Amino acid sequence: MKINNNKGEIMNKFTKVGLTALAGSLVAVSAQAVEMTASGSAKLTYMSKHTSETVGNPFGMNSSVSFSGTGEVNGYATTLLVTAADQFSGMSSASLSVDFGDMGKVTFDQGVGAGGISTIDDKTPTANEEVWDGLDAVTGTANGLVGGGNGGVWVYANSYADYNLSVQLSKGNRVSSSDDAVSGGHSGSSWDFALTSDSLMDGVSAGIGLGQLANGDQSITTSDDTDKHSVIFANYSVGMATVGYSVAKVDKGITGKSSEVAHAFGVSVNINDNLSLSYGEREVEYEHDDASNVTEDISGFAIAYTMGSAKLSFQLNETDNNGGTAAVKDENTEIALSLSF
Radius of gyration, CA atoms only, the chain: 26
Return mean pLDDT, the chain: 86
Alpha-carbon span 301 to 281, nearest angstrom = 9
User: Which is higher by pLDDT, 129 or 172?
Assistant: 129
pLDDT at position 51, please?
Answer: 85
Q: How many domains does the chain have?
A: 1
pLDDT in tens, 71-108: 888 888 899 898 887 755 556 899 999 999 999 999 99
Q: What is the mean pLDDT of residues 185-213?
A: 92
Is residue 58 in some structural domain? Answer: yes
pLDDT at position 291, please?
Answer: 66
pLDDT at position 28, please?
Answer: 43
pLDDT at position 240, please?
Answer: 96
pTM of the model: 0.83
User: Which is higher by pLDDT, 295 or 2?
Assistant: 295
> Has residue 181 got a pLDDT over 90?
no
125 near 278, Cβ under 8 Å? yes
pLDDT at position 19, please?
Answer: 40
User: Which is higher by pLDDT, 214 or 55?
Assistant: 214
Domain that holds residue 319: 45-340
φ/ψ of 22, rounded to 5, equals -65, -45
Alpha-carbon span 111 to 94, nearest angstrom = 6
DSSP state at residue 51 = T
330 near 318, Cβ under 8 Å? yes
CATH of the domain at 155: 2.40.160.10
Kind and range of the H or E element at 267?
strand 259-270
pLDDT at position 180, please?
Answer: 73
Is residue 132 in some structural domain? Answer: yes
pLDDT in tens, 117-158: 999 999 999 999 999 999 998 887 888 999 988 889 999 999
- DSSP of 100-139, one letter per residue? -GGG-EEEEEEBS--SSGGGGS-----SSS-TTTTSPP-T
Is residue 131 in some structural domain? Answer: yes
Alpha-carbon span 209 to 250, nearest angstrom = 12
pLDDT at position 175, please?
Answer: 78
Is residue 24 in some structural domain? Answer: no
- DSSP of 271-315, one letter per residue? -SSSEEEEEEEEEEEEE-TTS--EEEEEEEEEEEEEETTEEEEEE
User: Which is higher by pLDDT, 52 or 95?
Assistant: 95
Amino acid identity at 32: Q
Is residue 192 in some structural domain? Answer: yes
pLDDT in tens, 226-283: 899 999 999 999 999 999 999 999 998 876 677 899 999 999 999 999 999 999 999 9
- Cβ contacts of residue 327 below 8 Å, gap of 6+? 320, 321
Q: What is the mean pLDDT of residues 186-191?
A: 82
339 near 318, Cβ under 8 Å? no
DSSP state at residue 321 = S
48 near 58, Cβ under 8 Å? yes
Is residue 15 in some structural domain? Answer: no
Most confident of the following: 55-64, 265-274, 285-294: 265-274
- DSSP of 202-262, one letter per residue? TTEEEEEEEEEEE-S-TT-TTS-SEEEEEEEEEEEEETTEEEEEEEEEEE--STTPPEEEE
Is residue 315 in some structural domain? Answer: yes
Is residue 218 in some structural domain? Answer: yes
Residue 4 CA, distance from chain mean position: 68
pLDDT at position 21, please?
Answer: 42
pLDDT at position 297, please?
Answer: 97
Kind and range of the H or E element at 13?
helix 7-33
